[in-house]
């Protein structure tokens, strides 16, 4: 179901990208100028790039996963990277729920969007979107 989706990288803002696991390649990271990766999986290791900052969010892909526990930490990290002129990629396995939920949280906290606006902004950049609460 998610095969093609997992290999795509959505350009959410000038400094924020969203993807599934298959898009997390050195070529994509270097090509997009990404300086920080938020890995929102328990399952996957971080890509071994010494010049890229990482934040590992070990949240399971379950509707009951406590992803909201990480909203502030991830939002603050994305903002910190933005202030330094960097770019952040937030990914999970498929790029449609865990990572998307974290991007929505950032857009609400730092860009002043409502939940509905943030949802539709990301939905307009991706093919699928299933938010966790």
Could you say which of 36, 46, 92, 103 is catalytic? Answer: 92
Active site residue 92: yes
Q: Is 58 helix (H, G, I), strand (E, B) or coil?
A: coil
- Distance between CA 28 and CA 57 in Å, rounded? 21
CA distance 70 to 96: 17
Tokens of 97: 């729920």
Which residues are part of the catalytic machinery?
92
């Amino acid at each position: 179901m998610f095969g093609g989706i997992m290999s795509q990288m959505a350009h959410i803002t000038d400094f924020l990208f969203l993807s599934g696991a298959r898009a997390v390649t050195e070529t994509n990271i270097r090509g997009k100028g990404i300086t920080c990766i938020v890995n929102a999986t328990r399952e996957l290791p971080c890509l071994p790039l010494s010049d890229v900052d990482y934040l590992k969010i070990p949240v399971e892909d379950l509707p009951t996963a406590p992803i909201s526990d990480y909203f502030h930490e991830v939002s603050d990290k994305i903002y910190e990277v933005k202030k330094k002129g960097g770019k952040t990629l937030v990914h999970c396995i498929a790029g449609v729920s865990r990572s998307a939920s974290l991007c929505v949280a950032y857009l609400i906290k730092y860009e002043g969007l409502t939940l509905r606006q943030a949802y539709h902004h990301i939905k307009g950049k991706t093919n699928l979107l299933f938010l966790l609460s």
